[in-house]
Structure 1
Amino acid sequence: MSSKIKFGVIVFPGSNCDHDTYYVLKKVFAQDVKFIWHKESSVGDVDVVILPGGFSYGDYLRPGAIARFSPVMNDVKRFAKRGGKVMGICNGFQVLVEAGLLPGALLRNASLRFVCKFVYVRVENNNTLFTSLCENGEVLKLPIAHGDGNYYVDDETLKKLIDNGQVVFRYCDKNGNVIDEANPNGSVYNIAGIINEEGNVLGMMPHPERCSEPVLGCTDGAKIFNSLIYSLSLAEEFLSK
């Protein structure tokens, strides 16, 4: 498992976590990583596409609503539909939902206020590329920073997400109890992150790139990146035999 995973970080006008994500992947996890400008027509030769946090197009209309029409998104959709791995963090999650790569909608926080703090999330499904090194029920401490993180789906879609194991992270207290008081934005079912049916597209509101090295005081986010790197390295090793 010595070969590096190739990451591409999409940069939209207004992205502000693109350099954070690039730095973590390059310097902390020693992977190959490049920026992909939103006007590019192709993501190129990458294994993983990451849509970072920020305020693409200033969140005009609503978060992600304009970014979904960026030229590169056509290829992101193609990439995802062919099994390419895609991860949307915060605004990136919003873009994925707007683009139809994940179900639901992200509404204004129930408090109608921007929320910036550490929260706890419980791993609901460790049988994914993004959580393979986690335990089911494990509690991770991760930061959030958003004004529109209130995840919503109708009852039928929610049941489908739950039945399919597509709910990956739920807001909880430090002891793993999923309670209303631990929900920072009003998300239905305390949802903090979901995956698509095929298991190759993840969207999450918390920022793992902001807590992946000791100097930041928390390294729980590293488990998500390390899970992805480990899973893809195993797959590559298997295919090479």
Structure 2
Amino acid sequence: MKFAVLVFPGSNCDIDCYKAVEDTIGQKVDYVWHTATDLSGYDAILVPGGFSYGDYLRCGAIARFAPVMNAVREAAEAGKYVLGICNGFQILTEAGLLPGALRRNRNLKFICRQAPLEVVNNRTPFTNQYASGEVIRIPIAHGEGNYYCDEETLERLKANNQIVFRYANGDNPNGSVYDIAGICNEQGNVVGMMPHPERAVDQLLGSEDGKRMFTSILSAWRERHGAAVNG
């Protein structure tokens, strides 16, 4: 399996994503610059966190026009796996690959800490190794993670089982509607989330609960391609 980690001017979690793939599941991974126009050689695309283009205008508002985003859209339409983390989530919403928008945190402050997440949908390629309803600990680090959508969109997300993660135990750090921490598209192959699973792949980091996101992707890819799962 081959992963692409996109790199925009201002990305700062690209190395974390690269190392999570390399060290956690040992698969091929490349950095792909924002000027690239072809992602056909990759099975999964990671859109990392950071401050793409300095977060000018709005978070992700400029990055969504980068040449590579046309290739991301084509990959998503082809059923490939696309994961947007933090700023990557913001970029995916700005690009229309996921519904809703990310606004300033309710307290208007940057928040950086561990957060408890409930796994709402464990039937995506990104969550198949979690239990439904399981509470995991994944760090957050954002100033604009307040997920918003209108009531009609929220009802559609609920009906289609597109809510993947919610902040658990009444611990909503940013004011997100319905405590939403991550969602997917209707097909389930595109996921955006504010918490950082790539920062939770080893107990030395305070949690290894993010590790199973990467093993889930590999498991889904192997199942799709009829490959034997080793270990």
Q: TM-score range by the shorter chain?
A: over 0.9
Q: Cα distance, 1:64 vs. partner?
A: 0.2
Residue of structure 2 equivalent to 1:232: 221
- Aligned pairs (5 A) from 1:1-241: 5-173=1-169, 179=170, 182-237=171-226
Q: Which aligned runs of 4 or more in structure 1 are off by greater than 6 angstroms?
A: none
Deviation per CA, 1:34-57, whole angstroms, max 9, x where unpaired?
Answer: 010001111240000000000000
Q: Cα distance, 1:73 vs. partner?
A: 0.6
The separation in 2 between residues aligned to 1:233 and 1:215, in whole angstroms, is 29
AA of the residue aligned to 1:187: S
AA of the residue aligned to 2:166: R
Higher mean displacement: 212-221 or 127-136: 212-221
Contact 2:147 2:176 in 1 (8 A): yes
The separation in 2 between residues aligned to 1:78 and 1:152, in whole angstroms, is 26
What TM-score does the superposition give when structure 2 sets the normalisation length?
A: 0.96
The separation in 1 between residues aligned to 2:227 and 2:150, in whole angstroms, is 40
SS of 1:183's equivalent?
coil
Contact 2:182 2:193 in 1 (8 A): yes
The separation in 1 between residues aligned to 2:168 and 2:180, in whole angstroms, is 10
SS of 2:109's equivalent?
coil
SS of 2:226's equivalent?
helix
What TM-score does the superposition give when structure 1 sets the normalisation length?
A: 0.92
SS of 1:145's equivalent?
strand
SS of 1:237's equivalent?
coil
AA of the residue aligned to 2:9: P
Q: Cα distance, 1:12 vs. partner?
A: 0.2
The separation in 2 between residues aligned to 1:112 and 1:21, in whole angstroms, is 27
Q: Give the aligned CA root-mean-square deviation in angstroms.
A: 1.1
Q: Cα distance, 1:215 vs. partner?
A: 2.3
Structure 2: gaps (5+ residues): none
Percent of residue pairs identical: 54
Contact 2:24 2:211 in 1 (8 A): no
The separation in 2 between residues aligned to 1:110 and 1:118, in whole angstroms, is 17
Q: Cα distance, 1:238 vs. partner?
A: 6.3
AA of the residue aligned to 1:226: T
AA of the residue aligned to 1:39: T
Q: Cα distance, 1:214 vs. partner?
A: 2.7
SS of 1:19's equivalent?
helix
The separation in 1 between residues aligned to 2:152 and 2:204, in whole angstroms, is 43
SS of 1:148's equivalent?
coil
SS of 2:32's equivalent?
strand
Contact 2:40 2:75 in 1 (8 A): no
* Equivalent pairs, count: 228
Structure 1: gaps (5+ residues): 174-178
